[in-house]
Structure 1
Amino acid sequence: MIIFKNQYITVFQSALFQTTSTVIEMPEFVLVVDPTWLPAEVEQIKEYVYRNKGDRKLYLLFTHSDWDHIIGYGAFPDATIVASFELVNKDHKEKERILEQIYSFDDRNYIERGYEITYPKVNHVIQVDGEQLTVEGTTLTFYKAQGHTDCGLFTVIEPLGIFLAGDYLSDCEFPLIYHSSKAYELTLNKVDEILEQHNIKLMIPGHGAVTEDKSIIKQRKLESMTYIKQLRALLQENNKEQIEKMIEKYRFPRMMKDFHKENQQLLSEELGIL
């Protein structure tokens, strides 16, 4: 599963949706980010963490509340959980809907897990943009990243220069907009600020390939912004032919077609077209 590794960082990637799970090892603590998907994959991440953790404190960071990103929560019962205020304060029905997605996935695929499926109970709640968590000499700076969902976080870890982007800046998918296209654009605008204010050495998206190249980060941001603006304009023109052609360049066209249709529905509602 390991697609990137250095002295401090190990990035695992699931066979499903190229979903990444990251383990960051510092002298004082170990941080696990979005451990996911299949039981054997979660177990591999868990085994790696506990084999190497020693007596260091364990933190578990969720970049957002999508069910595929919280599915491994129960495998780390002793972890201190870090997530956004919005993730914590979803209403009961929304939390139940997210859990039902996990139950349904496991039932459809006859999957049994060695831990309980529950919604994360968060110990350290991120309230505002720029909020920081400092552990010894390591500082985590958090930025609200809304648009894909309403509860996302960007996280920058210094002095390592790690940028945890959640479900943004992927090389294998265009923006998947479940919350708001305008909020998504505002989040993308924070990428330039992060690159200016921090010495970013590695960007890890929630799906796809990591990159150490700032120019690639900027290019992915531009491509995402272009997709949103182009889709919005074509919907206003009712140009169905060009809307369909927008996703021809992307891999995994059958799945991308479904996501593209969902984006069309959301943006049409935002524009008052429907």
Structure 2
Amino acid sequence: MNSIVIYRGNAGYLIDPGVFPSEIERIDRFLQRQKIDNITLLLTHTHGDHISGWYFFRHFPAFGHESIAQKSKTVRENDVKYLQSMWRKRGIENTDYLIFPDNLQFVADGEVLAIPPFSFVIYQVPGHSIDMSVIIIPEQHLMFSGDMLIDVPAPFVLHSVKKYRESLKRIAALVKQYDVRYLVPGHREPAHSRQEIVKRIEKEQSYLQELVGKGIRLAEKGLDRDGLKHALYETFPQYARLHSHQVNVQTLLRELNE
């Protein structure tokens, strides 16, 4: 999990603080050591691992895309339950303060906010989740992509394959519009050049195009849901054991049945 602090002087943005107490404490020590006390929290989305540190920094203003407001009470509770289970698997029993952020200030799509030390703009890119967004700091040519464009074999599409594909097109346009040169996803390694960012976009586009195409062709053969699922596992042997691919297949099958 990548929690990010970008700062200048005593002002900084803290993006997606998480996940476990030791990591949250390390963030806090860094802020104190660098004397960063004018802090703004920014969230790419509200899955449990990306909001776990919110409570510890709740006295600072927090911002997220307005699409977060679309999440139902049940979905919000499930996000927190998932996070609680992550902590318990680590042997951390005290999860009482793992709660959904209740002080978020919602930002309209494409709205630019000038808050020290820079300005930032947020765009919704649904697919991984309904509230997935990218945060761009134009002055730094920098994009934070949450749980998209992670350097892994397959993306993780929980909400909608169709929306995810549309969002990849939108991100490609935003990279060009804002001359984005650096990308920091919510997990694994950053991308340090425009070329590498484009490569990640094209890799995810290629995978999803193949998944959707084969899913549609197999569905036209009249296979039932279980038959489709197993066929899509077998058709992609290099991904068959990946949890992300299995989730993507389930998401695609749900959309094909709608």
Report the TM-score when normalising by structure 2. Answer: 0.87
Q: Which has the higher mean CA deviation after the structures are superposed, 87-96 or 199-208?
A: 87-96
2:43 is aligned with 1:70? no
Instruction: Choose from 87, 90, 94 the match for 1:106.
Output: 87
- The equivalent residue for 1:59 is 40
Deviations 1:80-118, CA, capped at 9 Å, x for gaps:
111122223422211111111122222233215698211
Describe the shift of the 1:125–1:234 C-alpha distance in structure 2 as closer, same or farther (beyond 3 A).
Answer: same
Instruction: Choose from 225, 234, 246 the match for 2:236.
Output: 246
- The equivalent residue for 1:83 is 64
Task: Name the CA distance, whole Å, in 1 between partners of 2:95 and 2:29.
Answer: 13
Task: Name the CA distance, whole Å, in 1 between partners of 2:113 and 2:233.
Answer: 43
8 A contact 1:83–1:125 mirrored in 2 = yes
| DSSP 3-state at the match of 1:78 | coil
2:252 is aligned with 1:267? yes
8 A contact 1:142–1:155 mirrored in 2 = yes
8 A contact 1:28–1:135 mirrored in 2 = no
Runs of at least 5 residues in structure 1 that lack an aligned partner in the other structure? 1-18
Query: In the TM superposition, what is the alpha-carbon distance from 1:38 to its structure 2 partner?
Result: 2.2
- The equivalent residue for 2:203 is 223
2:129 is aligned with 1:149? yes
2:120 is aligned with 1:120? no
Deviations 1:182-232, CA, capped at 9 Å, x for gaps:
111111011221222113231101122101111111111011111111111
Query: In the TM superposition, what is the alpha-carbon distance from 1:245 to its structure 2 partner?
Result: 5.2
2:32 is aligned with 1:50? yes
Task: Name the CA distance, whole Å, in 2 between partners of 1:163 and 1:191.
Answer: 10
Task: Name the CA distance, whole Å, in 1 between partners of 2:56 and 2:254.
Answer: 39
Instruction: Choose from 179, 196, 215 the match for 1:235.
Output: 215
- The equivalent residue for 2:225 is none
| DSSP 3-state at the match of 2:101 | coil
Task: Name the CA distance, whole Å, in 2 between partners of 1:154 and 1:71.
Answer: 19
8 A contact 1:172–1:207 mirrored in 2 = no
C-alpha RMSD of matched pairs (Å): 2.3
2:178 is aligned with 1:198? yes
Query: In the TM superposition, what is the alpha-carbon distance from 1:179 to its structure 2 partner?
Result: 1.0
Task: Name the CA distance, whole Å, in 2 between partners of 1:30 and 1:112.
Answer: 32
8 A contact 1:64–1:87 mirrored in 2 = yes
2:29 is aligned with 1:39? no
Report the TM-score when normalising by structure 1. Answer: 0.82
- The equivalent residue for 1:213 is 193
8 A contact 2:161–2:208 mirrored in 1 = yes
| DSSP 3-state at the match of 1:165 | strand
Aligned-partner residue type, residue 89 of structure 2:
R
Task: Name the CA distance, whole Å, in 2 between partners of 1:50 and 1:89.
Answer: 35
Deviations 1:237-270, CA, capped at 9 Å, x for gaps:
338567435362x7xx74x2x2212211211121
Aligned pair count?
248
Runs of at least 5 residues in structure 2 that lack an aligned partner in the other structure? 219-227
